[in-house]
A and B are shown apart, each in its own frame.
Chain A
């Protein structure tokens, strides 16, 4: 199997879907000739033309609203928010329209749209371009929320998202774009709502999302040398959440560390921790659930401070050591 980047994997899924179904089209700021802020759609306008690769004004509410309207008429729009921070402008269309219409029209209308957007810090993009706000849409019934961490997951889940008849929030991560992985050629689906165990282990279940999966895997290598064998669980889909995989992992290890980049307070890490203590895994816990998550601060521009604001590999290593050393 060939190895491609996460960026290329997303682009492949989009292109494959567009080639197969003429109702699929993409919209967004600078996605045409420029190829998107992170180059995801580079070359697509040449293949599909400006009718299906529509670059838009800087007006997120308009983009989202147009996508909702197109979906109502039977199209399968995939729109890009250049930074997930800009969802503040698009939320009314997403939360009050996309998420509600199928329900309020008695199931007579579906909204098969996909919102793609990069979240997260680590690129020096400062406070307005570095947030992890996936929890906002995860809170709203009627939306599917996906956070792929690898190139393989990104392609397979994006195909599933485009094929799904519900509005899907597809959160990419700026630092994931450069990561590479084995990705099959051609279309494949990864089912929505199925978590993936990225590394088997027996000592601690590290439930990590998005780019934190990569940091957890790096920490696992360091910890393995010390005899600490962590299991890295990637939920991949936040809504619907694969509770069973998480619960079974914690039942096996008896210890859980939740790692998210999003701010800890009221973040999705709270939901993950709650599931662990709420479900059968509670009886197997041999240590309190530990969360590592973003600091309660706007993401700083200064690179050292930016790193301090979100969990790093060493933080995960230290947290695991502490859990194992507990008396």
Chain B
């Protein structure tokens, strides 16, 4: 008896979905736990595994075709088994169009039938050589001798005959493609990022505040704790872990920054669900650590480590990326010193972390000293909060990073 494969319901809000990629063809053998297809929910792309073994004997939705959850989209059964294809209902919202086409590879331009391979214009600074007769004829035809030159292989000097033979429609390519053009479709995580960023950019009036922070104390703290924490708790403490800890502590003093801007108002959230942006090969995703404000440094470090490892291991579940209240995004390992991060809506703040640079500064005694400086870039939603409170938050954060011992007394 053939087993049905359903469009899964992968989150509480998911009522429809579409397959972004099939990993099995009809007739392929299927083992339990093997990935059958990737599905796109309203939030995330998830690979779906087979619950039954056998052969894929029916596949009823195309890539990009949006169907309601629990729709039968495939059958697994015996190799010779026959099943009747179910009627596939349209998705609940008819406006949801299967916009994402199947990944396709465009034919290389050079394979166009008998093209004229255009000649590059001379780069000697004197332009195209053309005889007076050719220039006169080109002018009369309303074309340029440059166009004729490009369209005439092996040409040295544009002559009358070249102008006469010139036919713009014969020129198929103005340059030679050396490779193959690849189309990355708007599907999966790319689509998710595109939609999220567009929504944020188009709806949120955001302001970015930059502040330099002396991280000597932070680096010293990390150096002192590193070995002990790694040995005793099995987690290698990073600058990001420490920053996350300081951010969570500072948010406790500035609860209004830990919020979500929703339709009915600004939801000031009781717990800090701290998102950490993770760069993937094909995109970016922000898993979050729930209740970060309640975690010790080691607990937070472990949680951050676990959450940021999930996307790379395809272990991310919808809960991991929903409910965030504040995001940290770091380009600290690159040459970037500061940037304008786009807010991960509906959150109202995102903290960008730049690289650490050695600087010469005057100390209290007017001596030049070497310090390590890092740039923090805080983007905030100016609908939900204002420059001054955001600046105060950033000031407290910088003060805490520079004087971490105050944690003992606050």
Contacts and interface: CB of A to CB of B under 8 A. Distances in A.
A288 B155 CA distance: 16
A60 B364 CA distance: 109
A290 to B, nearest CB: 13
A285 to B, nearest CB: 5
A313 B132 CA distance: 29
Contact of A327 (B133, B134, B136, B156): B156
A254 B133 contact: yes
B136 A287 contact: no
A252 to B, nearest CB: 11
Contact of B160 (A254, A282, A327): A254
A286 B133 contact: yes
Contact of A286 (B154, B155, B159): B159
A1 interface: no
B157 interface: yes
Give the size category of B's interface with A. Answer: 10 to 19
A282 B132 contact: yes
A284 interface: yes
A283 B132 contact: yes
B156 A286 contact: no
Interface in A246-299: 254, 282-288
A305 interface: no
B156 A284 contact: no
Contacts of B154: 327
A326 B157 contact: yes
B399 interface: no
Interface string A295-327: 000000000000000000000000000000011
Interface string B128-139: 000111101000
A292 B285 CA distance: 77
Contacts of A285: 131-133
Nearest to A288: B131
B156 A283 contact: no
A284 B159 contact: no
B351 to A, nearest CB: 64
B238 to A, nearest CB: 65
B133 A284 contact: yes
Interface of B: 131-134, 136, 154-157, 159-161
13 contacts: A254-B131, A254-B160, A282-B132, A284-B133, A284-B136, A285-B131, A286-B131, A286-B159, A287-B159, A288-B131, A326-B159, A327-B156, A327-B157
Interface of A: 254, 282-288, 326-327
Given A284-B132, A284-B133, A286-B159, 9 more contacts: A254-B131, A282-B132, A283-B132, A283-B136, A285-B131, A285-B133, A286-B161, A287-B131, A288-B131
10 pairs of A and B residues whose beta carbons are closest in the complex: A286-B133, A286-B160, A286-B131, A327-B156, A285-B132, A254-B133, A286-B159, A283-B136, A283-B132, A284-B133
